[in-house]
Structure 1
C-alpha cells in the first residue's frame, strides 16, 4: 500500500515538473520558436484543435515565425486567436500565410518575465510540497488503520522527502537556467 502512495506521489511530482518545464519553454524571450504557439487552440468544426495540427509552423528567421494554415477558410480565426493570445504579438497575413514577428526584449520586459518566471517556479514548488503533505497524510491514515507499521511509514516519508528535494532542485535548476537565458542580451 505504501508503495502505491510513493509511486502516485512520484508520478504527480513528475507531471507537475513537466508542466513547469512546458510553461517556461513557451516563454517568449526575443527569438522565434515553434513552441511559442503550442498552447494556441482553434475552434475547428466545433472542436478545440491545437494550431500545430491545423497548420505548418516553421521558423523563417531568428525573429519570425511562419504559419501556413492547411484550411484557408480558418485563416482569420487563426489570426484572431494569435492576436488575443498571451504572446503579445500582432500576426501579419500575406498570401494565405501568417507571419509573427517577435520583437526584441527591452530590459523592462526582461525583468517582468523574470518576475513571472519566479512566481511560476514558487507556485510549482508549493505544489510539490502539497503533494508531499498529502502523501504523508495518507501514510498516517494507513498507520491509524493498522495497515502499515510506524517503521514503514517513516521509511516511506524519508523516500517522499528525497523525491521532494529532487524535484525542487530540478525546478530551481530550470529556473536559474531560464533566468540567465532571459537576462542575456
Structure 2
C-alpha cells in the first residue's frame, strides 16, 4: 500500500513537471516555432477548432512562420484568432498565406517573459507540494487505521519528501534552461 502511494505521488509529480514544460513552449523566445500557435482556436463554421486542424503551419525562417489555411474562406478567421490571442503579433496576408513575423525581443520584454516563467515554476511547485500533502495524508490515514506501523509511516513520509525534492529540482532546472534560452540574444 505504501509503495502504491509513493508510486502514485511520483507519477503525478512527473506529470506536473511535464505539464509545466509543455506550458513553457508557448512562451516566445527569439526563434520561431510552430508550438507558438498550437494553442490557438479558430472559429470554423460555428465551432472552435485547433489551428493545426484547419491550416498547415510551417517555420519559414528563424523569425517567421507561415500559416496556410486549407480553405480560402478561413483566412480571415485565422487572422482574427491570431489578433485575439496573447501572442502580440500582427498577421501579414498575401492571398491564402498568412505570415507571422516575430520581432526580436527587447531586454524589457525578456525580463517580463522571465517573470512569467518564474511564476509558472512557482505554480508547478505548489502543485507538487499539494501532491505531497495528499500522499502524506493517505499515509496518515493508513496509520490511523492501524494498517501500517509508525516506523513505516515515517519512512514513507521521508521517501515522499525525497520524491518531492527531486520534482522541485526538475522544475528549477526547467526554469533555468528556459531563462537561459530567453536571455540569449
TM over 0.5: yes
Report how many aligned residue pairs link the two structures.
185
Runs of 4+ in 1 over 4 A off after TM superposition: none
- Summarize the alignment of residues 71-110 of structure 1 with structure 2, pairs less than 5 Å apart: 71-110=71-110
Provide the rounded CA distance (Å) in 2 between the counterparts of 1:73 and 1:156.
60
User: Aligned Cα RMSD in Å?
Assistant: 1.5
Q: State the Cα deviation string for residues 122-163 of structure 1 (Å, max 9, x = none).
A: 111121111111110111011111222222222222221121
Give unpaired runs (5+ residues) of structure 2: none
Structure 1 partner of 2:118: 118
- Summarize the alignment of residues 12-161 of structure 1 with structure 2, pairs less than 5 Å apart: 12-161=12-161
Q: Is the 8 Å Cα contact of residues 44 and 77 (structure 2) preserved in structure 1?
A: no
Provide the rounded CA distance (Å) in 1 between the counterparts of 2:136 and 2:100.
48
Provide the rounded CA distance (Å) in 2 between the counterparts of 1:48 and 1:3.
43
Provide the rounded CA distance (Å) in 1 between the counterparts of 2:129 and 2:29.
29
Provide the rounded CA distance (Å) in 2 between the counterparts of 1:69 and 1:144.
60
TM-score with structure 1 setting the length: 0.93
